[in-house]
Amino acid sequence: MGCGAGALGGNASADRSQLNGASSSESASSVKRKSSKIEPVDEDRTPSPQSTWGLASDSVSRSTKHKRKILANRDRMSITERVSVSERKLSGGEAAQKDDARPSEEDRAFINQILSNHFLFHSLRGNERQAMVDQMERRLCTPGDEIFKQGDKGDRFFLIQNGNFSVLINDRVIKQLRPSQTFGELALLYNVDRTATVTSVGRGTLWAVSGNVFRKTMAKLHGEQLEKVTGFFNADPTFRALPEDDRATLAGECSVQAFQRGDQILRQGEVGDWMFIIVEGTCQVVDQQGSVTLKQQGTILGCIGLMCTHRQLFGARATDQVACLAMGRPSLEKLSALVVSLLRCHAIKSMLQDSAASRRNG
C-alpha cells in the first residue's frame, strides 16, 4: 500500500474532494490557525440534542485507545458474518467461578449504566439492554485468577462490578482495570484471538456476556445502522461516484463509533491501522508544526497513516459529540481496487495540500 510518502514529505490535513473531480472543500470545512497546542475544548458547550447517528446527550467519555485497538485488529468478515461462537473452558479451571446468582435490581441498574455509556452499546434501546442484562452471568474472582490468556479464543465479554484486574501482553503488565470498566470486546467483535492476558489482582466480581449474545446484539445494531451508512456514502462527494456495489461493500466494512467532547480520536505518531470518516460533529486536528484545523462532516481522518505513512501525522480530538464511520486496515483486503485507489489518491492529495499550507504559514 505504499504511496511514496517519504518523497512527498509534509504533514496532512484531510480533504473531501478527490477522484470525482470536485473542487476542494477545505475552505468550507476547515478553519486554519497557528497554535503551539490544540485549542482547549469548551467544556460548557452543550452538544446538540438531535442526532441521526444515535449519539446520547448524557453519555460520558469512553476509552478511544480501546476503540482504536479494536479497529486495528478487525478481520476480513463483516459484522453480520461474525455469529459463530467458540466454546471453551475458562483458563485456570476454577478461576472466575460462575455462580447461579442473577442480577439484582441494584446490579441491573449498575450494568445498565455501563452499557448506556459503552461505545458499542450506547445506542441500544432500553428493552434491548434489558434483554442483554437478562443473559449475564456473575463470575467471582480470587487473587491471581486468570480470566483469559493471550492467544485464547474469545467466548465472553466482561463488565467489572468490583475488584481490580491486570492486563498483560507478553507477560508484561500494561494496564490496570477498575470497577465500571469492561474488557474482552476485541476478540468477540472481530473474531480474533485474545490480544492480552487478564488476571485478578484481588477478590472481584465480573458480569459476563456470552459471545453468542454479544455477536447477535452487534449484528442487530449493524443491520439498523447499515441503511444510514449506505445513505451517507451515496450522498457524500468523495464516495458517490463509486459504483453501487463498491459503496455497499464499503458500508458493510464500516462501523459507527461515537466520541464525546474531549475524546482523543487520533494520536500523532501512533500506528496508522485505521481511519475515521466524520458523519456528525466537529474535531480539532493539530499537525507537527502546531497548526490547528477544525474538521467537520465528510472529513476523512487517519487516511494518510492507513494508506501511506503507517504512522499518524497529526492528532485529533472531538470538540463536541462526534459520530464517525470507522474502518481498520484488514478491511482494505475486502475493498475493490477502485476504492483503494480512491483512498490512496485522497491521502496523497491531502499530504500535498497540507505541505503547501505549512510552507505558506511558515
Question: What does the pLDDT read at residue 354?
Answer: 66
The C-alpha cell that represents 63 in the structure block? 476509552
Domain coordinates in residue numbering, the chain: 5-59+260-361, 64-216
CA–CA distance from 334 to each of 94, 127, 283, 339, 340 (Å)? 41, 35, 28, 10, 10
The C-alpha cell that represents 326 in the structure block? 470507522
Encode pLDDT of 160-200 as tens digits.
Answer: 999 999 999 899 998 899 999 999 987 887 677 898 999 99
Question: What does the pLDDT read at residue 274?
Answer: 79
SS3 141: strand
End-to-end CA distance of the chain: 31
The beta strands (E) that lie in 94-220 are given as 97-98, 137-141, 146-148, 156-162, 165-169, 172-177, 182-183, 197-200, 204-210
- CA 190/CA 199 separation, integer angstroms: 22
- CA 68/CA 85 separation, integer angstroms: 23
Residue 309 carries which DSSP code? I
Residues 6+ apart with CB under 8 A from 109: none
Q: How many residues does the chain have?
A: 362
Q: Which residues pair with 208 in a beta bridge?
A: 137, 158
Question: What does the pLDDT read at residue 319?
Answer: 94
Q: Are 210 and 156 in contact (CB under 8 A)?
A: yes
Q: Name the strands in the sheet holding 322-328, side by side, starting at the edge strand that comes first in the sequence.
A: 255-259, 322-328, 274-280, 300-301
Residue 39 carries which DSSP code? P
> What class has domain 5-59+260-361?
mainly beta
The per-residue DSSP string of 3-33 comes to --HHHH-S-----S--TT-PPP-HHHH--EE
Check for a shared fold between 5-59+260-361 and 64-216. yes
Low-confidence ranges of the chain (pLDDT < 70): 1-52, 54-100, 190, 354-362
Residue whose C-alpha cell reads 476454577 in the numeric block: 94
Closest CA relative to residue 84, chosen from 266, 211, 245: 211
Residue whose C-alpha cell reads 476547515 in the numeric block: 30
Question: What does the pLDDT read at residue 121?
Answer: 83
Residues 6+ apart with CB under 8 A from 131: none
Upper half-sphere CA count for residue 203 (Cβ side, 13 Å): 0
Question: What does the pLDDT read at residue 279?
Answer: 93
> What class has domain 64-216?
mainly beta
